[in-house]
């Protein structure tokens, strides 16, 4: 009887997951098709003013354009920055449509899952959500300051490098803040840093091919990641505890 109840509960859970995925997939597809239709339909055939259409397309297509910058050459019809390459210049409309849909639908699908992921984190561990927000603010502040000081005007390269740093930092934080055993946590963090240091020069050569300082110095990149990632996580921990201490003092007063 107990096994039957467990099987029934699992089937219900799987059914809910499938239904929710299907609904999100349909919404992502509709938004992708709407952006494509607004982008390719002549302005005189649309009921809205040209300025409204252009603004709507840019706002809706911004996540897709950002994904196109990060996963280039997988990209859609628009990027964040001017692209003077010959990418798909002679492609038929059907091929451009396929290129747009293959990156737009997954992008919108991921965005639609973010609210559910945030709610799940709040229900399970509200402190973890606070830690994520603090970490994101610290990462944004330091990354912005770094590129303002050292940026060479290559905004596309800066965005891709910032995304690479964010990927390594997120993977490290995910293991460091997880509830697995300390030895497995330590091993996972070390593995992420080693892989990140190995992939760093190859990713930099692809992200910013004009940079002359990209050299395959594994130890140098490993030390950079240890101090950068470790410093960010330590600072996040410090800010989190400082906020909690300040809140306790207010309650006591």
How confident is the model over 122-181, as pLDDT tens digits?
788 778 888 888 888 888 888 888 777 766 666 667 777 787 888 888 888 888 888 888
Is 117 a domain residue? no
Q: 106 with 135, same domain?
A: no
CA–CA distance, 67 with 104 (Å, rounded to integer): 8
Q: Supply 10's token pair.
A: 């699992």
Q: 71 with 129, same domain?
A: no
Is 115 a domain residue? no
Is 119 a domain residue? no
Q: Which of 138, 131, 166 is CA-nearest to residue 232?
A: 138
CA–CA distance, 35 with 110 (Å, rounded to integer): 17
Q: 40 with 130, same domain?
A: no
Domain hosting residue 147, numbered range = 125-252
Q: 52 with 135, same domain?
A: no
| 215 has a pLDDT exceeding 60 | no
State pTM to two decimals: 0.72
User: Domain boundary at 110, 144, 176, which?
Assistant: 110
- Find tokens 């809910």 and name the residue: 16
Residue 89 is classified by DSSP as T
How confident is the model over 36-93, as pLDDT tens digits?
888 888 877 777 788 888 888 888 888 888 888 777 777 777 766 666 555 666 778 8
Overall number of domains in the chain? 2
Q: 171 with 213, same domain?
A: yes
Q: Which of 72, 66, 77 is CA-nearest to residue 101?
A: 77
Phi, psi of 172 (to 5 degrees): -65, -45
Is 118 a domain residue? no
Question: What is the total residue count of the chain?
Answer: 253
């Amino acid at each position: 009887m107990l096994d039957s109840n467990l099987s029934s509960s699992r089937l219900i859970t799987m059914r809910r997951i499938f239904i929710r995925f299907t609904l999100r997939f349909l919404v992502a597809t509709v938004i992708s098709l709407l952006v494509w239709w607004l982008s390719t339909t002549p302005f005189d055939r649309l009921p809205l003013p040209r300025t409204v259409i252009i603004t709507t397309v840019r706002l809706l297509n911004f996540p897709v354009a950002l994904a196109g910058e990060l996963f280039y050459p997988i990209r859609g019809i628009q990027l964040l920055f001017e692209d003077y390459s010959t990418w798909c210049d002679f492609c038929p409309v059907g091929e451009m449509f396929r290129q747009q849909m293959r990156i737009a639908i997954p992008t919108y699908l991921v965005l639609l899952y973010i609210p559910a992921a945030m709610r799940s984190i709040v229900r399970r561990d509200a402190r973890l959500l606070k830690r994520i927000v603090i970490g994101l603010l610290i990462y944004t502040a330091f990354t912005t300051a770094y590129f303002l000081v050292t940026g060479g005007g290559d905004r596309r390269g800066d965005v891709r490098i910032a995304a690479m740093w964010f990927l390594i930092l997120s993977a490290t934080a995910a293991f460091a803040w997880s509830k697995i055993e300390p030895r497995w946590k330590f091993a996972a963090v070390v593995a992420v840093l080693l892989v990140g240091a190995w992939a760093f020069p190859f990713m930099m050569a692809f992200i910013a091919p004009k940079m002359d300082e990209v050299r395959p110095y594994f130890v140098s990149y490993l030390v950079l990641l240890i101090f950068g990632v470790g410093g960010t996580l330590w600072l996040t921990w410090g800010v989190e505890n400082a906020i909690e201490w300040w809140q306790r003092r207010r309650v006591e007063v």
